[in-house]
Amino acid sequence: MAQLDDISDLQRGVVSRDQALQAGLGPETVRRHLRSGHWQRMIPGIYATFPGRPPPGARRWAAVLHAGSGAMLCCHSAAEEAGLAAPGRGAIHVLIPEFRRISPILGIVTHRSRHAAARRDPLRLPPQTRVEETVLDLAATARVPADALRWVTTACTRQLTTPERLARALAARPRLPRRKAVGSLIRLAADGHVAPLPSWPPTR
């Protein structure tokens, strides 16, 4: 049980059924925890080891555990983890390797990429895309260029990244939507200018 407690502490009170069984709990013990209300089912096979409404951080961990091997938070969910955006109750975005498929779950949006492993932050938990990748994803899908620029400047102002690191990440993403416009915004941020903003082509 001590092993599972360590896992639960690391994952903000969230564990998977497989983790519980591998830590030595039997299926009946898991069912007893659920019946007693000490645990609650968040997603099939994913449990919160506490009562009450799971906070956003626990929900993000649950989504990553459900998505399985190679999964990580991305887009707005990764921005929340990095301190780039305020926590919300919206859908959780996860990125998985292109060759994988997972069962659809209400409230989880799945993205796939052949480059998923290269985009993962090597240190942050729960697994999530690097800040630079997160900013590029959010900027490229922003509704208007001012919103895209805000993602870039906020990340740099909070010292989560730099325009130079963003530019290097962009160079490795030749298929990023609105790539040229996003590059212009990164240069504007580096120069300290906010206008004129580039034209904003539709996403494909």
Q: What would the pLDDT profile of 121-159 be if each residue is shown by its tens digit?
A: 999 999 999 999 999 999 999 999 999 999 999 999 999
The yes-or-no verdict on residue 66 having pLDDT over 80 is yes
Looking at per-residue pLDDT, the higher value among 89 and 194 belongs to 89
Instruction: Give the three-state DSSP class for 129.
Output: strand
How many whole angstroms separate alpha carbon 16 and alpha carbon 154?
35
Is residue 138 within 8 Å of 129, Cβ to Cβ?
Answer: no
The percent of residues above 70 in pLDDT, for the chain, comes to 96
The yes-or-no verdict on residue 80 having pLDDT over 90 is yes
The pair of structure tokens assigned to 80 is 């929340």
Distances (CA, A) of 84 to 2, 48, 77, 103, 173: 34, 26, 10, 29, 21
Instruction: Give the three-state DSSP class for 97.
Output: strand
The yes-or-no verdict on residue 74 having pLDDT over 90 is yes
What pTM was computed for the model?
0.92
Angle at 72 between CA 153 and CA 101, to 5 degrees: 130
The residue with tokens 């090597």 is 122
Render pLDDT for 26-42 as a digit per residue (tens, 0 to 9). Answer: 999 999 999 999 999 99
Looking at per-residue pLDDT, the higher value among 89 and 133 belongs to 133
Render pLDDT for 153-200 as a digit per residue (tens, 0 to 9). Answer: 999 999 999 999 999 999 999 999 999 999 999 999 888 765 667 777
The yes-or-no verdict on residue 202 having pLDDT over 80 is no
Distances (CA, A) of 200 to 10, 86, 166: 41, 25, 19
How many CB atoms within 10 Å of residue 133? 29
How many whole angstroms separate alpha carbon 15 and alpha carbon 23?
11
* Long-range residue pairs from 64-70, CB within 8 A, at least 24 positions apart, any chain: 64/94, 64/126, 64/127, 65/11, 65/14, 65/15, 65/16, 66/102, 66/105, 66/108, 67/94, 67/96, 67/102, 67/108, 67/110, 68/96, 68/100, 68/102, 69/100, 70/96, 70/97, 70/100, 70/116, 70/117
How many whole angstroms separate alpha carbon 189 and alpha carbon 154?
10
| Model pLDDT, residue 193 | 64
Nearest CA-CA partner of 131 in 141, 122, 140 = 122
| Model pLDDT, residue 65 | 97
